[in-house]
Structure 1
Amino acid sequence: MSPARRRAGAAAGVLWRPVAPMLAVSVDAVPEGPDLVYEPKWDGWRAIAFREADGVYLQSRAGRNLTPYFPDITRAVRALPPGVVLDGELVVWQRGRTNFALLQRRVTAGRGTLQLAARHPAHYVLFDLLADASGQLLLDTPLVERRAQLACLLADAPAQLTLTPQTDDMAEVGQWLTTWTAAGIEGVVIKRRAGRYTPGRRGWGKFRTRVTTEAIVGGVTGSISNPDTVLLGRFDRRGRLRYTGRTHPLGTPQRLELATLLSPLILPHWHAVGHPWPDPLPASWSGQFDRPEPLRYVQVQPTVVADIKVDTSFEHQRWRHRVQYARPRPDLSVYDVPLLLGEEENPFTMP
């Protein structure tokens, strides 16, 4: 359905799916103001739920149908009145924190989806109400009123439907950013009390919790003389360099500085085995699930250490989101870089 037709439907009081969810723009600091409220930024899958007359439809952020993969959530949403449209985040908890990998397994479980849902049930953490129980659109209703209606709606809802916390207290925000990261909270989302819901627009703010750490440069996209992004690694306990993530594109000063430190790979250094990572890099390694093409890159001598800023999304021994390159650390040896720990050990959560 075209965006123009969806806008026309909204103007007529009808919310046709797919709906483009309201989005957030990244900010470098948490703003303060009397009209602002804050919510945790969950590490899950954004989903809009339509409680229709004949059932439930779950839509992903990109407009795809998630309904077959979350029978536990569709069953919970079915307990709500027809006409309701909800916005929130799908999460799966394991050992006291969110587990993104278990969300991804829902898509590939096939006939095992019901068994997977029983072993690792999902929760739907809700933060907005787009249409009420009568089907009336609430897009132009202030956030504070939409939130109040959502709280009433969820008062007797199944436990898997949870209202996200919200606060205007900066002390509580600080607590989320320093202690809740261990549970999988990535940061905070900033919203205006009187804000309306604008589908597809970046009307909210988001601040990600990041910490600075070190990693080894194992390759670059672009060229050695003009690197665009950096491929990073760490040694595991057996001394093997393992791929751990990729940076955002470098700024021009960063490119020029890093280029002076990089050297082409010398095979004898690796006892004629070659680089420990494949070239091209598999799409599953680089996280390009929306564009699943292998990543071509230039392998370099793994002798350069870099300072990077990372968030809390560290799974399968890799940073799931791209990291921020800060600067090279010529004062450090590659053996000064922290070892890559096991799956159960995440050294990148805040203390």
Structure 2
Amino acid sequence: MREWLSWAAVGMEWAVYKRPDGAYEPSVRGWMKYKVREATEAVVGAVTGLVAAPCSLPLGRCDDHGRLRYIGRTTTLVQAAGSTVGALLAPAWPGHPWTGWSFSARWGTRETLNVMLVEPELVVEVVVDVARDASGQWRHPARLHRARPDLQPADIPRLTLPPH
């Protein structure tokens, strides 16, 4: 199994497995799914809810031209995490790179998400699965691990687009 998991670097998102002595049984959940996840950093560019107590965090990374690009958002934050992160955020000044943007409320819908832009200065560590779309965005929400006020946006990996 460990050798199979090393394939994540070439795009394997998950593996399905069962006990060696297990047999397939219709309508029985005997098989397991292991999703490949990685810890990484991103910049908080906006919040849902209040800046002081965000519900979720739309996240970005700078591209090769230094533009902050949206890459995904977190799952709903627990209240304590929202308060901790909110204390490190400041409302955006004019000229925010995402001014005028709209964000999809859910993958595959036209419903928009109501966000408040924040100064893109706070780096957070998140855990994401390795699934990406053609624009490099995470296909599934990220789980907030912790705020990283010790890092600057320039310290984190640049957005790299997947090969076509």
TM range (shorter): 0.7 to 0.9
Q: 1:309 to 1:277 in 2, by over 3 A?
A: farther
Task: Say which SS state the counterpart of residue 177 (structure 1) adopts.
Answer: helix
Q: TM-score, normalised by structure 2?
A: 0.87
Question: In structure 1, how many angstroms separate the alpha carbons of the residues matched to 2:17 and 2:147?
Answer: 33
Stretch of structure 1 that moved more, 211-220 or 185-194: 185-194
- Correspondence 1:261-340 to 2 at 5 A: 261-267=88-94, 270=95, 274-281=96-103, 283=104, 288-289=107-108, 291-315=109-133, 316-340=135-159
Question: In structure 2, how many angstroms separate the alpha carbons of the residues matched to 1:330 and 1:280?
Answer: 27
Per-residue deviation, residues 119-139 of structure 1 (Å, max 9, x unmatched): xxxxxxxxxxxxxxxxxxxxx
Question: In structure 1, how many angstroms separate the alpha carbons of the residues matched to 2:32 and 2:80?
Answer: 28
Task: Say which SS state the counterpart of residue 263 (structure 1) adopts.
Answer: coil
Task: Work out which structure has the larger RCO, using CA pairs closer than 8 Å and 6 or more positions apart in sequence.
Answer: 2
Question: In structure 2, how many angstroms separate the alpha carbons of the residues matched to 1:177 and 1:253?
Answer: 34
Show the counterpart of 1:87: none
**Structure 2 stretches lacking a partner, 5+ long:** none
Question: In structure 2, how many angstroms separate the alpha carbons of the residues matched to 1:305 and 1:259?
Answer: 12
1:287 CA displacement? 5.3
- Correspondence 1:96-245 to 2 at 5 A: 173-178=1-6, 180-192=7-19, 193-198=22-27, 204-245=31-72
Kindly indicate whether the alpha-carbon contact (under 8 Å) linking 2:98 and 2:117 is maintained by their aligned counterparts in 1: no
Kindly indicate whether the alpha-carbon contact (under 8 Å) linking 1:279 and 1:296 is maintained by their aligned counterparts in 2: no
Q: 1:194 to 1:226 in 2, by over 3 A?
A: same
Q: TM-score, normalised by structure 1?
A: 0.43
1:330 CA displacement? 0.6
Name the Cα RMSD after superposition.
2.1
Q: 1:205 to 1:223 in 2, by over 3 A?
A: farther
Q: 1:253 to 1:278 in 2, by over 3 A?
A: same
Task: Say which SS state the counterpart of residue 255 (structure 1) adopts.
Answer: helix
Per-residue deviation, residues 167-190 of structure 1 (Å, max 9, x unmatched): xxxxxx111111x21342212224
1:279 CA displacement? 4.2
Kindly indicate whether the alpha-carbon contact (under 8 Å) linking 2:5 and 2:36 is maintained by their aligned counterparts in 1: yes
Q: 1:238 to 1:344 in 2, by over 3 A?
A: same
Per-residue deviation, residues 258-312 of structure 1 (Å, max 9, x unmatched): 0110111111xx3xxx44253432x3xx6521x4311111111111000011221
Q: 1:203 to 1:264 in 2, by over 3 A?
A: farther
Amino acid at match of 1:239: G
1:338 CA displacement? 1.1
Question: In structure 2, how many angstroms separate the alpha carbons of the residues matched to 1:227 and 1:246?
Answer: 12
Structure whose alpha-carbon radius of gyration is higher? 1
Task: Say which SS state the counterpart of residue 60 (structure 2) adopts.
Answer: strand
Per-residue deviation, residues 86-134 of structure 1 (Å, max 9, x unmatched): xxxxxxxxxxxxxxxxxxxxxxxxxxxxxxxxxxxxxxxxxxxxxxxxx
Per-residue deviation, residues 155-176 of structure 1 (Å, max 9, x unmatched): xxxxxxxxxxxxxxxxxx1111
Show the counterpart of 2:161: 342
**Structure 1 stretches lacking a partner, 5+ long:** 1-172, 346-351
Q: Percent identity?
A: 36
Kindly indicate whether the alpha-carbon contact (under 8 Å) linking 2:126 and 2:144 is maintained by their aligned counterparts in 1: yes
Kindly indicate whether the alpha-carbon contact (under 8 Å) linking 1:216 and 1:233 is maintained by their aligned counterparts in 2: yes
Kindly indicate whether the alpha-carbon contact (under 8 Å) linking 1:186 and 1:209 is maintained by their aligned counterparts in 2: yes
Kindly indicate whether the alpha-carbon contact (under 8 Å) linking 1:243 and 1:277 is maintained by their aligned counterparts in 2: no
- Correspondence 1:17-32 to 2 at 5 A: none
Question: In structure 1, how many angstroms separate the alpha carbons of the residues matched to 2:113 and 2:58?
Answer: 11
Kindly indicate whether the alpha-carbon contact (under 8 Å) linking 2:17 and 2:33 is maintained by their aligned counterparts in 1: yes
